[in-house]
Amino acid sequence: MSLHYLIRKPKIILDKNPLLLLLHGYGSNEEDLFSFASELPEEYFIVSAQAPYPLMYGSYAWYAINFDADENKFSDINQAKQSRDLIVNFIDELTAKYPIDSKKVTLIGFSQGAILSYAIALSYPEKISKVVAMSGYLNVEMAKENFEQNDFSSLTIFASHGTVDQVIPVDWARKIGPALERFGINFTYKEYPVGHGVAPQNFYDFRNWLEENK
């Protein structure tokens, strides 16, 4: 397998089960979001992937975040695109290895994982049915060229953000809705009075959203 991962197999066995693929944030690891696994619906395969680029011990990134002389942050777009396609390949590997319904693949991303989830879903909407994107923003530079011509009719997105996020400003997240509307994508957007993290209410809301959007 091209990525290291943790897996929770479904407790309710179907002919083919849906997949929740968890993508952690910058400087974290595959154990972070996997802590949610026991609370998520029982019919899913839940896979938490480790990003490919090691930082300090036990922490990883999907792509580098660099700083220029004026301390402006910028993302390594080439690395982001490589991780985008690495994750898509990883999904193919998972569906080949486990009895996963390839038409029911959901990405759950936090921060950098959310930013990549948007890029993957916009680039390959035929492979992704749902996205839960928490504390991220939309960077269309990471999507494939001419992604606007894709068919997004089967894609639904749950986006959320903390109103006092000190890492990714909430103003960046508020631009997601108008962009998704322009692409004709069905979405839900919610805000919570927290910083750069997942509030308990945010977790309950996206879990309910998963149950309502089967």
Tens digit of each residue's pLDDT, the chain (214 residues): 999 999 999 999 999 999 999 999 999 999 999 998 999 999 999 999 999 999 988 999 999 987 666 666 778 999 999 999 999 999 999 999 999 999 999 999 999 999 999 999 999 999 999 999 999 999 999 999 999 999 999 999 999 999 999 999 999 999 999 999 999 999 999 999 999 999 999 999 999 999 999 8
Judged on CB neighbours under 10 Å (0-12, 13-18, 19+), 155 is buried
**What CATH number is given to the structural domain containing 117?**
3.40.50.1820
Number of domains in the chain: 1
How far is Cα 156 from Cα 141, in angstroms, rounded to an integer?
21
Range of 205's domain? 5-212
* Whether the Cβ atoms of residue 65 and residue 75 lie closer than 8 Å to each other: yes
Query: What predicted TM-score, i.e. pTM, was given to this entire model?
Result: 0.95
Q: Residue 65 belongs to what H/E stretch?
A: strand 65-67
What pLDDT is stored for residue 214 in this prediction?
83
What pLDDT is stored for residue 66 in this prediction?
77
